[in-house]
Amino acid sequence: MRLLEQPTRLLFFTGKGGVGKTSLACATAVALADQGKIVLLVSTDPASNLGQVFGVTIGEHDPIAIPDVPGLYALNINPEAAAQAYRDRIVGPVRDVLPAETIKGMEEQLSGACTTEIAAFDEFTGLLADDAATAKYDHVIFDTAPTGHTLRLLQLPTAWSNYLDSNESGASCLGPLSGLAKQRQQYAHAVAQLANGDATTVVLVSRPQKASLVEADRTSHELATLGIVNQQLVINGIMPENGSHDPLAVALREREKAAILSLPTALVSLPMDQVPLQPRNMVGLAALRAFLSEKSDALPAPQSATPPVPLSLPPLSQLIDEIEKDQHGLVMVMGKGGVGKTTVAAAIAVDLAARGHAVHLTTTDPAAHLSMTVESTFPNLAVSRIDPQVERDRYRQHVMETKGQNLDEAGRTLLEEDLRSPCTEEIAVFQALSRVMRESKEKFVVVDTAPTGHTLLLLDATGAYHRDVVRNMQAGSHAVTPMMRLQDPKQTKMVIVTLPETTPVLEAEALQADLRRAGIEPWAWVINSSLSAASPTDPLLVARAAEERQHVERVQKSVSLVAIIPWLTQEPTGSERLLELSRSKAESCVST
């Protein structure tokens, strides 16, 4: 592993959910500690599972020593807890001083996902800036949140600095600015640390899949625009050449080779490591120590190559049968990046269109690749993309031309300052989405939403709009807000997509909990790319399929409506293969 040859003091692991980021961060931390280094491993991921990997409870305030790994310590930064502490710090001192209505307004102002982002970043930069807190460690390794979340965290210092420089009003969706202004030096220090190649390496983790590598390339570009060019690439989970003639194994190898041979230009120039696919989840010290070892016999053999259990879950087409019964409606497909959300959304849309229904397929995901997934010429199907930057500019212009037209110069300046808020883009995207949602009264609208953090920001905007409409309604009048439409299962069906793996399932459960807090009950789950549903014969894939069983059963216990999509030998791109995907059933499996 080139990564372990001359590691910098700070290592940041980033990538889409399910690429193995946490496993690689943990294995790297163990490897460095085994070399005699003193190492601190920090998770800033809202869906952190460090405790599960090491089999111990990880603290959120003070690092704890990991048993049986001398020199290794671990710490979880919990964004939700940090957000609550941040709210208490801002509101607490004035709770008994200001009027109750004012306090209520402040709490609503601080209830959004922006506050969580701010609070988590506050904790993260506080650790980076506290030389005394990290002085004893030779290395500090960050298991960061998935790509979109991380990028927002990294971009915030610049946005905040610009905003704080120009905002004199103190009014902002970010909350009272005094709490932020005090941290400016700390944020500047954090960005300088991230961009310092002598001190820091950003490790881009990707699966050997085209979409995953495209996402890594996008991340690399966006980091570079922030001056962070000290990057390395790790391609994790490559199917080894083991002589197997299993059609699934052969197809997997061929697909991965093609993806790596066509690496985006920016990634080709980066130092790169390739890590083979493992037969089990990386839980426990033995598995972590063997993960990055170059010894062929380092990894403990699977306990048994248990054949996949029979699966009784229905195919995606059965969910589509239920959707079709309403003849129209809104279908929102949600999930963390990398789980195949765009593919599932496109498959639902194409299948409904093939049945003769008018369908509008759209995305609000900045990383979406609908044009790579389905052709726009398919009968009955319209395909579009809501561009966040375009919508932000359009929203700013509209607000200035309407609300700003009768303001004096000072008022327009104040309004322009408010529109520089990082939340403006989210509000603008939500407004564009609301326009599309209205089409669902007469046709099917399938929305490929953004990863969780982005989605929750949209829902926050929905909630704020909903509360504003309800607050200003005349007595006896009736209105249907977008939030009401999202909460009504007759109008909206929320579909959560996951992979049958630890992190994606945990992240999907967190998303489901967030939806329920907003009064929205998910309608169904889709388990995508299941090896156990494809009945492999290759020993490594059989072992991986056996590992899936616990995750499939966990999903079945938590929701009533679940569909499964087998791992397919062909990339599901184009209308013909999307139809095959939606109608593909789990293979008949061998019972144990």
| Catalytic site positions | 18, 20-23, 45, 503
Q: Tokens 């599932």 label which residue?
A: 344
Between CA 487 and CA 256 the distance in angstroms is: 41
Between CA 432 and CA 382 the distance in angstroms is: 16
Give the pairing type, strands 524-530 and 562-566: parallel
Name the 3-class secondary structure at 4: helix
DSSP β-bridge partners for residue 75 = 42
CB 152 within 8 A of CB 16: no
Between CA 577 and CA 571 the distance in angstroms is: 8
Q: Tokens 């690429």 label which residue?
A: 19
Between CA 506 and CA 504 the distance in angstroms is: 5
Torsion of CA 343, 348, 352, 358, to 10 degrees: -70
Whole-number Cα distances in Å, 62 to 53, 126, 340, 367: 18, 13, 37, 36
Edge-to-edge strand order for the sheet containing 359-363? 381-385, 359-363, 444-448, 329-334, 492-498, 524-530, 562-566
Other beta carbons within 10 angstroms of residue 249's beta carbon come to 23
Between CA 217 and CA 209 the distance in angstroms is: 12
Query: H or E segment at 152?
Result: helix 147-166
Q: What is the per-residue DSSP string for 265-295? A: HHHHTS-EEEEEPPSS---SHHHHHHHT---
